[in-house]
Structure 1
Amino acid sequence: ALGDARGHRGTVAAAIGDGRVAAEALAAELAGRPDPAADARPEMGFDGLNTVYYPGAARAQVPKLPVAERGFDTEIEGGIGRAAALAEAERCLSCGNCLACDNCWTMCPDNAVIKTVELASDGSHYLFDYDYCKGCGICVQECPTGFIQEAAETD
């Protein structure tokens, strides 16, 4: 289920994301391509983030009309204003997305992370040279969004 059919109240960002997922799936179907969400990265939970890089910020308080003043055609929740909306948008942690913050590139002791100008196939601006990588996991620990994930080496 997408959009308002989810069954619970979400955010505008989630609704926009749902719209994008639906549009990409429809475009792929019409073009005869596989669904792009089928091979998407797993959803990143809060535990996968390195929150040291994020300043704490309280959620914007939405003013609500007192119950006694509510009527059939009255708006129950008020707006939060431009400044509060921008501050709320800054709270986004971009879970699972590469922000091109250079932490992996800066922290790698083996110079196994190569910075690129164009986007890599995974959507980041970095390539990993596995001939030099010793698997220390510093890049994984220092990635603020959890974009870099360790995987067991296969033959």
Structure 2
Amino acid sequence: MEITGTILERSRAIQFSRRYLLGCLDQITDEALDFRLTPPNGQLTYSIREHLLHLADEGELCVWLSKHKQEMPDEAWRVKHNGDGTWTLQGDWPTRDSIRAELEKSWAMQDEFFCGRPATEIDAVISDKHPHLVWEAIDWLLIHESQHRGQVMTLVRMAGFEPPKWQ
């Protein structure tokens, strides 16, 4: 059997994950983007907005490490960790549309470097400094995104909205 198409075209998991995250945005209001839990220990947790921007950051970081062989510049981070368990938003994303634009920008970068490759290159080595294969990078991105997708889904529900149905 001949394998055709790009990795993205063939990966239902990537397509599902992206549709679901955007579906969560569609289900809430702009005001709900700042909803967060405050655990009993008082530890700061991500808001819905911060979860989604963090996903955009981590996707781009994976590209930076593989393609540029270095960390992202400080100014490229949307959610900048301060090293003391806190973080700072380094921009203004007040609406669901602005968050959607950041996710789509990050996904475009990921697609260009990882997912837009021919499916036959799934086992290509993509970095010598951080040696890993295309599928390993995509696997990490999907697992990380799945963790945060579950957290976003929980926050959406706790903020009083119904998350999208699994399809």
Pair in the same fold by TM > 0.5? no
TM-score, scaled to structure 2: 0.23
Higher relative contact order (Cα pairs below 8 Å, separated by 6+ residues): 2
Structure whose residues are more often helix by fraction:
2
Q: Normalising by the residue count of structure 1, what TM-score does the alignment of the two structures yield?
A: 0.25
